[in-house]
Amino acid sequence: MIESSVVIIPTYNEALNVQPMIEKLFELYPQISILIVDDNSPDKTALVVETMRAIHSRLFLIQRAGKLGLGTAYLEGFEWALIKKFKFIFQMDCDFSHDPKDLQNLINSLINENAEVAIGSRYSGNAIRTKDWPLHRLILSYTAAFVLRILTGLRIKDALGGFKCFRSEALGKINLKNIISKGFVFQFEINYKIHLMGFKIIEVPIIFKQRVMGSSKMNLKIIVEALKVLCQLRLKKFTGKLDS
């Protein structure tokens, strides 16, 4: 399975993390492919990747003109992965908050439970599995996930988690052009669309670690966009105008 899989990793100023992340993934899964989607990071993340491409034939890079947002980076990555006909499409952060070792568990659970999406979940099973995360970040993330659950009826404990494995057939049925999120709230919107299509989403427990190197891209603008997108989605659903 892993040989027909690609891991999409969006990067913005991850020059300190990107090489160790790529090396770890290839060490654990020599047959996997990796796509880095970089937004012209000022710290030259893309240059590190470009240099590594000389020795890794399964390493790919999309370089974009500027910081266009996490959601649009994933959309470009998904479109690329679908064209390349990968069967399984993973997405994860570059900052080691997501443990590369958990990839195997995600895909095993997806297949064993015959699901279309497996989400690496910090909050499933009524537990909280975050390590060294500042309390205010945990409260923000947990509350947002709770509010999303209540407002949308989507029974996912960690609807904003960024560590996932998709079956490409399911992802291919979503009209990616209709996704409205530009930033972080994309994580929720794609789950919501997949749920509305009737696909099975499962949560697989993971431990989420605070990043050690580099800096967070979370800011107020991202939170405001999340609230705006949520209102738009609810309104579209209410008026029957929400397309897949």
Ligand X SMILES: Nc1nc2c(ncn2[C@@H]2O[C@H](COP(=O)(O)OP(=O)(O)OP(=O)(O)O)[C@@H](O)[C@H]2O)c(=O)[nH]1
| Binding site residues, ligand X, CB under 6 A | 10-12, 14, 37-39, 67, 69-70, 73, 93-95, 97, 211, 216-218
Query: By C-beta, is 31 or 216 nearer to ligand X?
Result: 216
Nearer to Mg ion by Cβ, of 96 and 192: the residue is 96
CA 38 from chain center: how many Å?
14
Q: Is 61 left (phi over 0), alpha (psi -120 to 50) or beta?
A: beta
**What's the min distance (Å) between Cβ of 145 and ligand X?**
13
Task: Report how far apart, in Å, the C-alpha atoms of 90 and of each of 126, 163, 231, 235, 239 are.
Answer: 25, 7, 28, 30, 33
Residue 57's CB is within 10 A of a number of other CB atoms, namely: 8
All residues at 6 or more sequence positions from 18 whose CB lies less than 8 Å from its CB, including other chains:
9, 11, 36, 45, 48, 49, 94
Q: Which is nearer to ligand X, 93 or 203 (CB)?
A: 93
The least distance separating Mg ion from the CB of residue 216, rounded to whole angstroms, comes to: 6
Q: Output the CA torsion 95→97→100→101 (10° steps).
A: 160
CB of 93 to ligand X, least distance (A): 4
Among 38, 39, 95, 225, binds Mg ion (CB under 5 A): 95
CA distance 174 to 242: 12
Query: Using the rule CB under 5 A, is 189 a contact of Mg ion?
Result: no
Nearer to Mg ion, 39 or 95 (CB): 95
Candidates 40-48, 80-88, 91-99, 116-124: pick the segment binding Mg ion (CB under 5 A). Answer: 91-99
CB of 238 to ligand X, least distance (A): 29
Instruction: Supply the minimum distance, in Å, between the C-beta of residue 88 and ligand X.
Output: 20
Burial classification of residue 54, based on how many CB atoms lie within 10 Å of its CB (0-12 exposed, 13-18 middle, 19 or more buried): exposed
Picked from Mg ion, ligand X, none, the partner binding residue 170 (CB below 5 to 8 A depending on kind) is none
Q: Hey, what amino acid is at 239?
A: T
Q: Which of 11, 17, 97, 109 binds Mg ion (CB under 5 A)?
A: 97
Binding residues (CB under 5 A) for Mg ion: these are 93, 95, 97
